[in-house]
Amino acid sequence: MTSLALGVDVGGTGIKAGLVDLETGLDVGEACVTPTPEGAYPEGIASAVARLVEQLRPADGRETPVGVCVPAVVRAGRTFSAANISRDWIGLDARALFADFLGQHVSVMNDADAAGYAEARYGAAKNAPGLVLMTTLGTGIGVAMINDGVLVPNSELGHIQIDGIDWETRASVSAKEREGLTWQEWAGNLQKYYSTLESLINPDLFIVGGGISAASEQFLPLLSIRTPIVAATLHNQAGVTGAAALAAAHRPQQVLI
């Protein structure tokens, strides 16, 4: 029987969920999407997640692992930051919150870490040696560090300060849309971001994820950096896939990274 798990990716503007085939990393059936509730408060998001999961549960009633990734630092199921979501998430036992709404154990992890794990297991970082930085460009910027295939969680390099500015406010997709930047103009902001990461971390590979990665030919050729940089294989699906795979990899009694 195919091994399945449910993954949910909570973002600042939308929540995506899917039933994932853990052998291939692909969705089984249609994915579900809903807008992030106004204010992105914990109870509102947990309620929306519960509705999506209920739509996606296997028809045969089998118990399926559920993983939820959120734009926050996560340690032992508790959220310690909040990027583009309510600050009520800070210090929250998110794992207990989602478990209450879903009626089962839920694994909770950082959204960029979930995406990076998915790319390491199924996508552009599969079998990649050395240090890989997976960057997710969307409402904000998330970064996952993968060293020789092992996830190093909660790097938060999407919020590095450049010229005294949190650079996700200049290089995220939402910044491009808000300021009406052309691809060339936005690539200039990305250039500064990736050049700074390169000087600080010296990775062996950059992977660019998020929905915008489907249009990578519009901006990746405009960047001039030493490190190879490629689009994510799973594009905007990586968070859902990684959340599902991480949920299946950790038993309820274990503490999730």
34-65 as b/e: b if 16+ CB within 10 A: eebeeebebeebbebbbebbeebbeeeeeebb
Give me the pLDDT at residue 2, please: 56
Q: Tell me if 92 sits within 8 A of 41, measured CB to CB.
A: no
Question: Which is it for the CA torsion 207, 213, 215, 220, positive or negative?
Answer: negative
Distance between start and end Cα atoms, the chain: 28
Could you say which DSSP state residue 250 is in? Answer: S
- Residue among 97, 87, 197 at smallest CA distance from 137: 197
Q: Token pair for residue 44?
A: 């509102």
9 touches 240 (CB < 8 A): yes
pLDDT for 250 equals: 75
Give the pTM: 0.89
Q: pLDDT value at position 189?
A: 97
Domain positions in the chain are 4-113+238-249, 126-234
Contact between 131 and 146 under an 8 Å Cβ cutoff? The reply is: yes
Position 170 scores a pLDDT of 96
Structure tokens that stand for 194 in this block = 């990736």
Q: Write the CA distances from 204 to 58, 134, 197, 229, integer angstroms.
A: 40, 11, 12, 9
The list of the chain residues with pLDDT below 70 reads: 1-2, 251-257
The CATH number that domain 126-234 falls under is 3.30.420.40
- CATH number of the domain located at residue range(s) 4-113+238-249 in this protein: 3.30.420.40
126-234 and 4-113+238-249 share a CATH fold: yes
